[in-house]
């Protein structure tokens, strides 16, 4: 039985369990516990466990017990107030744990969020499967001329075919070399060798190899992760995961999700220079002396249609 099939069998077995609890639950999230949401070509996101719901945030903010002491619209207003005024501790009371399968280069971006607890699959202990991230051709783009860490523009079809071929061939070749070092191939002659240790054999694998981890984070820091990784400026591959996870957040804490969209994703933070720039625009004054960056001006033009 393949490793992925074995894991799925274990998950299906756990999913049949029924537990009684006195804790608050999120009914919509309960329905998708352990469900695998596909990401990229071989990746996925699934929720393994969570603690708290919207009422837990309200309870922490009011330091009170029990539900139903306040109207739903009062809870909604309080959560919106907390988010808009950047209160953090009530949201830190809620936690969620994910099982994520992702390419290593995405994991290296992801791990920059150091406020989570992470336990990653060990290639020192286990043998990796022949799975590599190969981008969809439409995602192949040249280096951006204005953003040193992004892509922009288009490639012609011949270039795309050439680059796709290199990516596929390099992935195939690296896995063959990995198997050779481990002495895992079917060559009877090679099986006379002992093979190289797993912890060294893995170093021939490229960054588009897949890894897996358990990732546990509180709601406050989870929203910070989403605000950065769901943003249109984030790398496409990590945005795919962020999009899945923001939909999971909606099932978990719908009132907080709504406030998060309103106060974070769909809002704008202005620098003092940007405020001066807009004031001058409104009053018909010159902005020649305003010390504002070109990137910020472009952002303001896009939002306010200057």
Task: Pick the closest to residue 183 from 174, 194, 173 (CA basis).
Answer: 194
User: Which pair of tokens denotes residue 93?
Assistant: 């009371």
Task: Pick the closest to residue 82 from 266, 258, 271, 270 (CA basis).
Answer: 258
- Catalytic residue, chosen from 229, 239, 264, 295, is 229
Half-sphere exposure of 45 (CA within 13 A, CB side): 20
Task: Pick the closest to residue 202 from 107, 135, 110, 104 (CA basis).
Answer: 104
User: Which pair of tokens denotes residue 100?
Assistant: 């994520």
CB of 65 closer than 8 Å to CB of 185? no
Cα angle for residues 219, 7, 216 (degrees, 5° grid): 15
> For the chain, percent helix, then strand, then coil, each to nearest 5?
50, 10, 40
Owner of token pair 């919509």 = 28
Run of H or E including 273: helix 272-282
215 beta partners: 98, 118
Annotated catalytic, 229? Answer: yes
Half-sphere exposure of 115 (CA within 13 A, CB side): 12
Q: Which residues are annotated as catalytic?
A: 229
């Amino acid at each position: 039985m393949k490793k992925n099939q074995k894991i799925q069998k274990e998950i299906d077995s756990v999913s049949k369990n029924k537990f009684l609890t006195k804790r608050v639950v999120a009914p919509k999230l309960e329905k998708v516990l352990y469900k695998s949401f596909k990401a990229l070509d071989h990746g996925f996101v699934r929720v393994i466990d969570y603690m708290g719901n919207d009422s837990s945030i309200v309870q922490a903010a009011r330091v009170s017990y029990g539900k139903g002491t306040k109207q739903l619209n009062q809870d909604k207003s309080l959560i919106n107030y907390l988010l808009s005024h950047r209160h953090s501790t009530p949201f830190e009371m809620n936690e969620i744990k994910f099982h994520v399968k992702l390419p290593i280069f995405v994991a290296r971006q992801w791990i920059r969020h150091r406020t989570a607890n992470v336990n990653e699959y060990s290639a020192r202990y286990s043998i990796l499967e022949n799975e590599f991230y190969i981008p969809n051709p439409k995602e192949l783009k040249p280096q951006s001329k204005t953003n040193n860490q992004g892509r922009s523009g288009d490639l012609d079809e011949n270039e795309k075919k050439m680059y796709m071929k290199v990516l596929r061939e390099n992935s195939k070749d690296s896995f063959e070399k990995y198997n050779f070092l481990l002495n895992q191939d079917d060559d009877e002659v090679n099986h006379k060798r002992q093979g190289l240790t797993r912890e060294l054999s893995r170093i021939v694998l490229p960054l588009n190899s897949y890894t897996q981890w358990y990732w546990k984070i509180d709601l406050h820091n989870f929203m910070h992760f989403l605000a950065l990784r769901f943003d249109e400026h984030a790398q496409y591959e990590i945005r795919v995961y962020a999009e899945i996870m923001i939909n999971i957040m909606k099932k978990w804490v719908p009132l907080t999700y709504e406030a998060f969209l309103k106060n974070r994703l769909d809002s704008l933070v202005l620098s003092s220079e940007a405020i001066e720039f807009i004031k001058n625009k409104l009053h018909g004054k010159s902005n020649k002396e305003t010390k504002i960056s070109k990137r910020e001006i472009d952002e303001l033009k896009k939002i306010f249609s200057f």
